[in-house]
Amino acid sequence: MNSKGKALVFLLCVTGVSVLLRGYALKYCDLKYQSICACKRCLSEDDQWFMKFVNKSVKPFLSANTSLPESAFNWWKRLQGERGSYSAYSKTVEGLFEIVPPKPDLVEPSSYRCRTCAVVGNSGNLKGSRYGPLIDFQDVVIRMNTGRTKGYEADVGNKTTHHIMYPESGMDLENNTHLVLFPFKIQDLLWVTKALTTGFTGTSYMPVKSKIKANKQLVMVISPAFIKYVHETWLQKKGRYPSTGFMALVMALHICDEVHVFGYGADKDGNWSHYWEKLKNKMLRTGVHPGSQEYDFILQLKEKQKIQFYSGW
């Protein structure tokens, strides 16, 4: 082969390698900058302010293959004067996972999916809001405690995929709704085990339903370590422990890509009223929960465009 032929072969080889490398580089860039979800705006991990609070290593729910750190148990047991030992807690959790699934039923994040959540609080500011269709449009609709939909569909919707409760606020659920237990003590873990099977016979500071209707395959239990994390990291140890509503919001930020928040905050008179009842105690506030700090944080999340916040009225 003459020198011109060799030069032509060399140029063809260089061109081929360049094209190949360019293809790999573009593919690498696509992977590197690929969105973490298919939403218009995701809860991006490159936001330094937001990432001061979000710790994805702290899982929202208990599972059979992870153990609770004893330090978290010792913090949690003080919330309502729990006297049981760590071994008693572990034994109760072991019995719980004989009844409910060993791991929570969650939709994993994907660049091809936008997991949208509606977190629906119980504030009286939902009355007359007409948010119902917007709430029902979201993939995940989280309600809590004795929040209800019948008769209030126009304002609060009628779809519920996850219902957060503790024994004293226990209620029957539809078969396609996740029961999300917010436990304060070992007895709460025992309650959900018994209430779904043979019936609970214990007592508490207020009446507790012995049995409830719910799908055992859709039960999820918020981890005491997650409660501690929300209290210490998100609320900077304000109040004794987070409210159910604030826990629900942070839980949503961990399991969803886009979060819409409804029914939070006081009514027009400054009371923390419920949309389904007439308030009798005009001095009602937030008790052991840091209500004003929680609400201020929600407004910060709105300002930072981490949530869509609907104030009602």
Is 105 contained in some domain?
A: yes
- Residue 2 inside a domain? The answer is no
The two tokens of residue 216 are: 């055992």
Of 260, 220, 259, 266, give the one whose Cα is nearest residue 243: 266
In a domain, residue 283? The reply is yes
Please report, in range form, the residues annotated as the binding site.
80, 122, 145, 205, 241, 245, 265, 274, 289
Cα–Cα distance between 265 and 272 in angstroms, integer? Answer: 7
Average pLDDT, stretch 147-154?
96
pLDDT in tens, 60-102: 999 999 999 999 999 999 999 999 999 999 999 999 999 999 9
For residues 201-219, give the mean pLDDT: 94
Say if 263 falls within a structural domain: yes
Q: Which domain holds residue 222?
A: 40-310
Residues 112-137 pLDDT 10s:
999 999 999 999 999 999 999 999 99
Domain-embedded: residue 126: yes
Contacts of 67 (CB under 8 A, 6+ apart): 90
pLDDT band at 145 (very low <50, low <70, confident <90, very high): very high
Q: Where in the sequence numbering do the catalytic residues fall?
A: 241, 289
CATH of the domain at 59: 3.90.1480.20
Radius of gyration of the chain (CA): 25
Domain count, the chain: 1
Gap between the Cα atoms of 70 and 24, Å rounded:
48
Cα–Cα–Cα angle for 44, 308, 306, rounded to 5 degrees: 25
**Does some domain include residue 14?**
no
d(CA 290, CA 286): 7
* Mean pLDDT estimate for the chain: 86
**Binding positions for substrate:** 80, 122, 145, 205, 241, 245, 265, 274, 289
- Asked, for residue 31, whether it belongs to a domain, the answer is no
Has residue 72 been placed in a domain? yes
